[in-house]
Structure 1
Amino acid sequence: MTKIKIGIIGVGRIGKLHAGHLVRQPNAEVSIVSDVAVTEELRQWAAELGIPRISADYRDVLRDPDIQAVYICSSTHTHVPLIEEAAEQGKHIFCEKPVSMDYVQTERALEAVKKHGVLLQTGFNRRFDHNFKRVRDCVQSGQIGDPHLIKITSRDPAPPPADYIRVSGGLFMDMAIHDFDMARFVANSEVQEVYAQGAVLIDPAIGELGDIDTAITTLKFANGALGVIDNSRQAVYGYDQRVEVFGSAGCIQIANDHSNTAEISTKDAVFRDNPKYFFLERYEQAYADENRAFLQAIASGGQTPVDGNDALQAERIAAAAKRSLQEGRPVKLEEL
Structure 2
Amino acid sequence: MTLRFALLGAGRIGKVHARAVASNPQAKLVAVADAFEKTATELASAYGAEVRTIDAIEKAKDIDAVIICTPTDTHADLIERFAKAGKAIFCEKPIDLDVKRVEQCLAVVEKAGATLMVGFNRRFDPHFAAVRKAIDDGAIGAVEMVTITSRDPGAPPLDYIARSGGIFRDMTIHDFDMARFLLGEEPVAVSAHASVLVDKKIGEAGDFDSVSVILETASGRQAVISNSRRATYGYDQRIEVHGSKGMVAAENQRPVSIELANDKGYTRPPLHDFFMTRYIDAYANEIAAFIAAATAGKKAAPSGKDGLIALKLADAALQSAKTGKTVRID
Shorter chain as denominator, the TM-score bin is over 0.9
Given the alignment of the two structures, is residue 68 of structure 1 paired with residue 64 of structure 2, yes or no? yes
C-alpha distance in structure 2 between counterparts of 1:223 and 1:32, whole Å: 48
**1:226-241 matches, cutoff 5 A:** 226-241=222-237
Superposed counterparts of 1:175-324, under 5 Å: 175-266=171-262, 269-324=265-320
Q: How do 1:144-155 and structure 2 match up within 5 A?
A: 144-155=140-151
CA shift at 1:96, angstroms? 0.3
For 2:243 and 2:221, the matched residues in 1 are separated by 9
Matched, 1:7 2:6: yes
Pairwise CA distance, 1:264:
2.5
Work out the CA distance in 2 between the residues paired with 1:44 and 1:200. 38
Counterparts of 1:118 and 1:95, CA distance in 2? 13
Once the two structures are aligned, what percentage of the paired residues are identical? 42
How far does residue 196 in structure 1 lie from its aligned partner after superposition? Answer: 0.4
**2:34, 2:40 within 8 Å by CA — same for their partners in 1?**
no
Matched-pair contact (CA < 8 Å) for 1:136–1:187: no
| Displacement after TM superposition at 1:120 (Å) | 0.3
How far residue 24 of structure 1 moved from its aligned partner, in angstroms, is 2.4
**Matched-pair contact (CA < 8 Å) for 1:93–1:118:** yes
2:76 equivalent in structure 1:
80
1:111 aligns with 2:120: no
Alpha-carbon offset, residue 195 of structure 1: 0.4
Query: 3-state DSSP class of the match of 2:90?
Result: strand
Distance across 2 between alignment mates of 1:310 and 1:222: 19
Report Cα offsets for 1:76-115 as digits up to 9, x if no partner.
0000111111111111100001111112111111101100
Pairwise mapping of residues 30-179 of structure 1 onto structure 2 (< 5 A)?
Answer: 30-39=29-38, 42-51=40-49, 53-55=50-52, 57-179=53-175
Which letter maps to 1:14? Answer: I
Q: Cα deviation per residue 1:25-54 (whole Å; 9 max; x = unaligned)?
A: 222122111111101x54233122110x21
Deviations 1:193-234 (A, max 9, x none): 100001111101101101110011011023421111000000
Q: Deviations over 1:119-168 (max 9, x none)?
A: 00010000000111011111122211111111000000111111111111
Length-normalised TM-score, structure 2:
0.97
RMSD: 1.3
Structure 1 gap segments, 5+ residues each: none
- Contact 1:8 / 1:61 at 8 angstroms: preserved in 2? no
Tell me: CA distance 1:151–1:44, structure 2 relative to 1, closer, same or farther (3 Å): closer
Q: Secondary structure at the match of 2:242?
A: strand
Q: Is 1:18 paired with 2:14?
A: no
Does structure 2 conserve the Cα–Cα contact (< 8 Å) formed by 1:199 and 1:214?
Answer: yes
Match of 2:321 among 317, 320, 325: 325
Stretch deviating more after TM superposition (259-268 or 165-174): 259-268
Q: Secondary structure of the residue that 2:254 maps to in structure 1?
A: coil
Structure 2 unaligned residues grouped into runs of 5+: none
Cα distance in 2, alignment partners of residues 223 and 131 from structure 1: 27
Q: Is the 8 A contact 2:5 2:29 kept in 1?
A: yes
Matched pairs, number? 330
C-alpha displacement of 1:5: 1.6
Query: Does structure 1 conserve the Cα–Cα contact (< 8 Å) formed by 2:32 and 2:40?
Result: no
Alpha-carbon offset, residue 266 of structure 1: 4.3
Give the AA of the match of 2:51.
I
User: In structure 2, do the counterparts of structure 1 residues 81 and 263 end up closer, same or farther at CA, with 3 Å as the change threshold?
Assistant: same
